[in-house]
């Protein structure tokens, strides 16, 4: 295939034209200010320092034949098409943010989430559908779990009560299985009460801190001991 350059009155092979465009993007990518200006002028995409990610603020200013722009945009910025499976990653512990414009150009999003380029860790704020198109098949299902069941109060991962990746039981008090650990919970126990609590609740004495404690999972702490917990 060939492209005719009318200005130079010359026929240029198509692959040479594409190589030229790639080289041009390399030059833009290597110059931070040039890249920022190019993305704003052509695509209304900016780098947001607060979110530490690229985000779209309006529709593109240039005519786009391929309306699904995510791969085109990420290739300009990183050199890779992030929609190719295996070239990106997500962080399940991150919350979505309010926003309508996905990097791809869609303006019907309710929330935006970070999709990261694996080689550079560069982030892009995109809709949940684009994350699944990039190969993260269960993302929407996991977000629905977070909405329905909540997130782990220690690591912020979505809590999943059923299914292959089950990581939570309702009795765990919003702590996922990975974060759930037995711990020492120190208690306010009077001297004349110690024998009773030792017998029925298996409390133990810490000679260094000089406090009684109960050892186990926090969500299994007996109700009668909850009123005696010390903040140490």
Give the angle subtended at the CA of 154 by the CAs of 153 and 156, to the nearest 5°.
65
Model pTM score: 0.72
Tell me what pLDDT residue 231 has.
87
DSSP string, 49-71: TTTTEEEE-S--SS--SSS--HH
Nearest to 91 by CA among 118, 66, 109: 118
Q: Is the pLDDT of residue 25 over 90?
A: no
Location of structure tokens 């465009």: 21
3-state secondary structure of 140: helix
DSSP 8-state symbol, 158: B
Of residues 83 and 23, more confidently modeled: 83
Q: Is the pLDDT of residue 185 over 70?
A: yes
């Amino acid at each position: 295939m060939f492209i005719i350059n009318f200005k130079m009155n010359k026929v240029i092979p198509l692959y040479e034209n594409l190589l030229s465009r790639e080289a041009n993007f390399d030059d833009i990518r290597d110059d931070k200010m040039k890249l920022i200006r190019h993305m704003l002028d052509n695509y209304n995409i900016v780098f947001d320092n607060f979110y530490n990610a690229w985000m779209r603020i309006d529709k593109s200013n240039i005519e786009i034949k391929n309306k699904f722009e995510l791969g085109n945009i990420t290739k300009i910025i990183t050199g890779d098409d992030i929609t190719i499976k295996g070239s990106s990653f997500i962080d399940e512990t991150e919350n979505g943010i309010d926003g309508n414009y996905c990097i791809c150009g869609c303006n019907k999003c309710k929330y935006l989430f970070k999709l990261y380029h694996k080689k550079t860790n560069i982030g892009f704020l995109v809709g949940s559908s684009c994350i699944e198109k990039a190969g993260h098949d269960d993302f929407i299902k996991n977000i629905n779990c977070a909405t329905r069941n909540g997130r782990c109060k220690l690591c912020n991962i979505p809590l999943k009560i059923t299914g292959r990746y089950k990581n939570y039981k309702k009795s765990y008090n919003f702590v996922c299985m990975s974060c759930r650990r037995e711990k020492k919970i120190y208690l306010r126990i009077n001297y004349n009460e110690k024998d009773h609590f030792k017998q029925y609740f298996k409390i133990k004495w810490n000679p260094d801190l000089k406090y009684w404690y109960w050892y186990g999972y926090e969500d299994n702490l007996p109700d009668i001991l909850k009123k005696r917990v010390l903040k140490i």
